[in-house]
Each structure stands twice: as C-alpha cells, then as structure tokens.
Amino acid sequence: MKNVTPELHLSRSFPKRAGMSLIELLVVIAIIALLVAVLLPSLMYARIAAKRVTAHSDLRQITIALDSYMIDNKDRVPPARSACGTDVNNQLPIELATGGYLPKSGSNIPQADVRDIFATAQSYKYIAPGAIWFNGSFFDQPDQPWRPRARVWVPNDFPSCETQQGQFFGGFPGEGPSPVVYAVWSIGPNPQSKKFPRWEGTGDVDMSRFPLVAPYWMKSSWDDGLIVHFKPQKRNICTTP
C-alpha cells in the first residue's frame, strides 16, 4: 500500500484590504494634533519645573560657598561687580573661584563659573551692600557718597518683601546696618517678564531693585520671575518658593 503525501500549497490568497479613506486620514491627523496641543504645554512646564529645581540647588551651593568665604575672611563678603554699557553685571564674585570655593570661568569675565540654568551665557547674579568693582576699578569709600557703591533695595517688611516701600542700603555712615548680608538669584525663565519694572523711555528692564521684591519672584513652575536665595542678618538663608 502506498503512502500518499498531500501537496503543500505555499501560496494562499488573502483578501485585499482597502487603504484609509481621506476622511479617516483627516480624523487621525486631527487626533494627533489635539494630543500634541494638550501635551506640549505640560512638557514645557515640566522642563521649567526641572530647571527651577536645578536653580534652587545651584543657588544653595553658592550660598554655602559664600558662607565658607565669610568664615575664612572674618565675616566679610566678596565685593559686587558692575560695568556700564554692558549686560555683565552682578556676576558671581571671582573671589569665590580664586579661593577655591567655586569653579573659575574660562572666559575673560572676572566671575565664578556657575551658569544660570535659565541663561547659560551668564552666571547667577550676586549683590551685597558695600564695596564694588565698578568698570574694572575697586571702590570702598563709604564716607565719600559720590563714589560708586553696591546698594541693595530692602523693603520695609523684609524678609517677606511684599511691600513696595523700602530703602537702599550701601553701608554708608549713619545709614544703619543692612538687614540683608547678600543675595543671589537666577533671572528665571523669562528675562523680559512683565513682572519686572521698566525704565521710562527705553523700556529696558529696571534691575535697580532686584532681587528683594516679592512681586518680581517666581512663585510656581507655571509662573516666571526671579528665583532668589538671600541671607538676613543673624538668620538662616531665606529662599523664594
């Protein structure tokens, strides 16, 4: 008796599937566009939230460096810096780099190299009432008020800083001690924030009262404004939200 092996048919016929209609394609595109519109703002704010956390961490490290500098220099803080006609002002003191507290910048700008996470072309900002490097020259003559001096605006309700009323402190005779020792800050996600005051005529941001004014501060990841750490006299470091 013969064994009969059935033939294997390798080719099969499948029903042809019609392509998407134009209406179906448009529906898919509309759904994708809707998802993108919903998700992109959330992703953007998530990135801002992550940068905000990084800024607070960086500023905390800077305040530790400043406190270490003060311990090693009899409670003196590094001088502030300013230069007319440039956008390089209030950079982190080069003294923190030369003293080994923070890394040194590889550029010609005299500053410690801790870049603002929101503005990586510049360092975080620093101000302290008193001595100042101004246009490359050092000034520390509190008895000569016509000479340059680093001045810090301090609201009357410091450290909450909600009121617009206050005064500048620069370590001048008869002025009284400044309530704040120093402040460091990030410019935040929008350097041109509508929160910031403007100079009349030019419309440029007026930074003369930065950073100790609460209405200028960033309050959440959905917000913009300054991120600030500051040291009051005889108190621990205060921070914005």
- pLDDT recorded at residue 105: 80
Query: Where are any strands of DSSP class E within the chain?
Result: 80-82, 115-116, 119-123, 125-127, 132-134, 137-139, 152-155, 166-169, 180-186, 227-232, 238-239
- pLDDT recorded at residue 240: 96
- pLDDT recorded at residue 213: 96
Distance separating alpha carbons of residues 169 and 164, to the nearest angstrom: 15
The mean pLDDT of 94-113, rounded to a whole number, is 90
- pLDDT recorded at residue 106: 80
| 158 touches 124 (CB < 8 A) | no
Distance separating alpha carbons of residues 172 and 177, to the nearest angstrom: 9
Domain layout of the chain by residue ranges: 22-239
Q: Give bridge partners of residue 183 from the DSSP assignment.
A: 127, 230
Higher pLDDT, 129 or 17: 129
| 162 touches 212 (CB < 8 A) | no
How confident is residue 39, by pLDDT bands cut at 50, 70 and 90? Answer: low
